[in-house]
Amino acid sequence: MSGFEPAGKRLAVALGEFRAARRQAALKAALARLQGDSLALLSFYEVAKQLKVTGQVDRGVREIPLDRIVGSVGRYDDFDRSFLPLKDHDAKRWASVRIAAADPAALPPIEVYQIGTAYFVVDGNHRVSIALRLGLDYLDAHVVEIRSRVPLPDDLDYEAFILAAEYAAFLEHTGLDHLYPEVTLAVSMPGQYDKLENHIEVNRYFIEEADGRTLSDEEAVGRWYANVYLPVVESIREHGLLRGFDGRTETDLYLWIAENQAALRNALGWNVSTEAATPDAARYAAVQGNRLARLYRRALSAALPAPKYPPELAWSYSKTMDRYSDRLFADILVGVDATSGSASWVQALPIAEREQSHLLGVPLLTENPEGAGSEQLRSNFYARLQELGLSGELSRVSGPLLETIRFGARLADLLVLARKDLREIHAGGENIRQLIVDCNRPLLIALEEPSRLTHALLLCGSEEASQEALFVTAYMAERWGCSVTLLSGPDSASASLERARRYLELHEIEAATISRTSSHPDIIFKVAHEHDCDLVVGGAQQREPLHAEALLRQLLDGPEARLKPLLLCP
User: Model confidence over 213-258: pLDDT tens digits?
Assistant: 899 999 999 999 998 898 888 877 876 767 655 667 889 888 877 7
Q: What is the pLDDT of residue 75?
A: 85
SS3 109: coil
Q: What is the pLDDT of residue 222?
A: 94
Contact 545, 421 (CB under 8 A): no
> Which strand (E) or helix (H) includes residue 475?
helix 466-480
Separation between Cα atoms, residue 42 and residue 153, nearest integer Å: 14
- Torsion angle of alpha carbons 484, 487, 492, 496, nearest 10°? 10
Average pLDDT value for the chain: 77
Separation between Cα atoms, residue 442 and residue 478, nearest integer Å: 18
Sketch out the chain's domains with CATH numbers.
42-157 (3.90.1530.10), 192-301 (no CATH), 311-446 (3.40.50), 455-569 (3.40.50.620)
User: Which spans in 36-157 are helix H?
Assistant: 44-50, 91-100, 125-133
SS3 312: helix
Contact 42, 73 (CB under 8 A): no
Other CB atoms within 10 A of residue 207 CB: 17
Q: Quick one: which of 505, 439, 437, 446 has its CA closest to 470?
A: 505
The residues of the chain scoring below 50 in pLDDT are 2-4, 263-264, 267, 273-314, 317, 321-322, 324-325, 369, 372, 465
> Which strand (E) or helix (H) includes residue 111?
strand 110-115
First to last CA, the chain: 68
Separation between Cα atoms, residue 97 and residue 107, nearest integer Å: 9
Radius of gyration of the chain (CA): 33
Q: Quick one: which of 74, 150, 86, 156 has its CA closest to 113?
A: 74
Backbone angles phi, psi at 371, to 5 degrees: -85, -165
Other CB atoms within 10 A of residue 533 CB: 26
Q: What is the pLDDT of residue 221?
A: 94
Q: Quick one: which of 451, 439, 389, 387 has its CA closest to 415?
A: 439
- Identify each DSSP E strand in 419-533 by its residue range: 443-446, 455-460, 483-488, 511-515
> Which strand (E) or helix (H) includes residue 479?
helix 466-480
Other CB atoms within 10 A of residue 491 CB: 11
For 420-435, write each residue's pLDDT tens digit. Answer: 888 877 776 666 767 7
Q: Quick one: which of 97, 102, 133 has its CA closest to 24?
A: 133
Separation between Cα atoms, residue 440 and residue 435, nearest integer Å: 8
Q: Quick one: which of 170, 180, 238, 157 has its CA closest to 201?
A: 170
Contact 270, 277 (CB under 8 A): no
Q: Quick one: which of 538, 536, 544, 527 has its CA closest to 492?
A: 544
Strand partners, 437: none
Residues 6 or more apart whose CB falls under 8 angstroms from that of 514 comprise 485, 486, 487, 488, 527, 531
> Which strand (E) or helix (H) includes residue 213?
none
Other CB atoms within 10 A of residue 289 CB: 12
For 460-480, write each residue's pLDDT tens digit. Answer: 875 554 678 888 898 899 889
Half-sphere exposure of 3 (CA within 13 A, CB side): 6
Residues 6 or more apart whose CB falls under 8 angstroms from that of 494 comprise none
Q: What is the pLDDT of residue 279?
A: 28
Q: What angle do CA 384, 323, 243 make, to 5 degrees?
A: 110
